[in-house]
Structure 1
Amino acid sequence: MRFAVAAVLAGVATVAQAHFQLQFPEPRGPFVEDDEPTFCDGYAQAVSNRTTFPLSGGFFTLNSEHPTWNVAVLISTAQDPASFNDFNNATGGNQLAKNFVSAQGEGVFCLPLDLSHTGVSGVADGANVTIQVLFNGGDGSLYQCADLTLSSTASISAACSNGTSSSSSASASPSATSPASGSSGAPSASAPSTSTSTTPNGARTLAVASSACLLGAIVALALAL
Structure 2
Amino acid sequence: MAPLVSVLAGLAWLAAVSSAADISAEDIGPAAFMWPPERMWSAAADTTPPCGSVAGVGNRTTFPLKNGRLALVAQNESWDAAISISYLPEPKANSDFLNLIDSLREVDRGHTCVPINDPPSSVKSGTNATIQIKYISEFDKPENETFYACADITYVEVSDFKEHIPCFNATEPPDKNKGNGSSSTPTPTAAPSDGKSGGGLSGGAIAGIVIGCVAGLGLLVAAGVLIYRRRQQRLRTLRQQHSSRGVKWDEPHGRDSNSNGSVRMQNLSS
Deviation sequence 1:154-202 (CA, Å, 0-9, x none): 25413421122x3449xxxxxxxxxxxxxxxxxxxxx94317xxxxxxx
Task: Indicate which of 49, 53, 56 corresponds to 1:42.
Answer: 53
Q: Report the residue type matching 2:110 in the other structure.
A: G
2:137 aligned partner = 137
Residues 162 and 132 of structure 1, relative CA distance in 2, 3 Å threshold: same
Q: CA deviation at 1:99?
A: 2.5
* Number of corresponding residues: 151
TM-score, structure 1 normalization: 0.56
Q: How far apart, CA to CA, are the structure 2 residues paired with 1:74 and 1:85?
A: 10
1:20 aligned partner = 31
Q: How far apart, CA to CA, are the structure 1 residues paired with 2:150 and 2:48?
A: 11
Residues 67 and 80 of structure 1, relative CA distance in 2, 3 Å threshold: closer
Matched, 1:147 2:135: no
Matched, 1:53 2:63: yes
Matched residue SS, 2:52: helix
Task: Indicate which of 177, 181, 201 corresponds to 1:193.
Answer: 181
Residues 52 and 101 of structure 1, relative CA distance in 2, 3 Å threshold: same
Residues 35 and 122 of structure 1, relative CA distance in 2, 3 Å threshold: farther
2:164 aligned partner = 157
Q: Mapping of 1:105-116 within 5 angstroms? A: 105-116=108-119
Q: How far apart, CA to CA, are the structure 1 residues paired with 2:162 and 2:79?
A: 28
Matched, 1:82 2:92: yes
The alignment yields a C-alpha RMSD, in angstroms, of 3.4
Contact 1:55 1:114 in 2 (8 A): no
Structure 2 residue ranges without an equivalent (≥5): 1-28, 139-143, 189-270
Matched residue SS, 1:115: coil
2:24 aligned partner = none
Q: How far apart, CA to CA, are the structure 1 residues paired with 2:166 and 2:106?
A: 20
Matched residue SS, 1:109: strand
Deviation sequence 1:59-84 (CA, Å, 0-9, x none): 11222233453321111111122332
Contact 2:88 2:129 in 1 (8 A): yes
Q: Report the residue type matching 2:181 in the other structure.
A: S
Q: Report the residue type matching 1:52 in the other structure.
A: T
Q: CA deviation at 1:25?
A: 0.6
Matched, 1:69 2:79: yes
User: What percent of counterpart residues are identical?
Assistant: 27
Matched residue SS, 1:101: coil
Q: CA deviation at 1:41?
A: 1.5
Q: Report the residue type matching 2:36 in the other structure.
A: P
Q: Report the residue type matching 1:160 in the other structure.
A: C
Structure 1 residue ranges without an equivalent (≥5): 1-17, 88-94, 170-190, 196-205, 212-225
